[in-house]
Amino acid sequence: MKQITIINGPNLNLLGKREPEIYGGMTFEDYFQKLTAKYQNLELTYFQSNIEGELIDKLHEVGFKGDGIILNAAAYTHTSVGIGDAVKAIETPVIEVHISNVYAREEFRHHSYVSPNASGIIIGMGLKGYELAIDSLIDA
Supply the residues annotated as catalytic.
Answer: 23, 98
Strand-pair category, 42-48 with 94-98: unpaired
Give the residue, chosen from 11, 50, 115, 119, that forms a contact with ligand DQA under the rule CB under 6 A.
Answer: 11
Give the residue, chosen from 4, 42, 71, 99, that forms a contact with ligand DQA under the rule CB under 6 A.
Answer: 99
Q: What is the DSSP string of 42-92?
A: EEEEEEE-S-HHHHHHHHHHHTTSSSEEEEE-GGGGGT-HHHHHHHHH--S
Does 114 bind ligand DQA (CB under 6 A)? Our answer is no
For residues 81 and 97, the answer to whether their CB atoms sit within 8 Å is no
The contact pattern for ligand DQA, residues 69-98, with x = CB under 6 A and - = no contact, is: ---x-xx-x--------------------x
Q: What is the CA radius of gyration of the chain?
A: 14
102 φ/ψ angles, rounded to the nearest 5 degrees: -60, -25
- Judged by CB under 6 A, how many residues of this single chain contact ligand DQA? 10
Does 102 bind ligand DQA (CB under 6 A)? Our answer is yes
Q: How far is CA 37 from CA 40, 42, 43, 103, in A?
A: 6, 10, 11, 32
The contact pattern for ligand DQA, residues 29-68, with x = CB under 6 A and - = no contact, is: ----------------------------------------
In the complex, minimum distance from the CB of residue 40 to ligand DQA, in angstroms, rounded to a whole number = 26
Give the residue, chosen from 79, 109, 117, 121, that forms a contact with ligand DQA under the rule CB under 6 A.
Answer: 109
Does 127 bind ligand DQA (CB under 6 A)? Our answer is no
Residues of the shown chain interacting with ligand DQA in the complex, contacts defined by CB under 6 A: 11, 72, 74-75, 77, 98-100, 102, 109
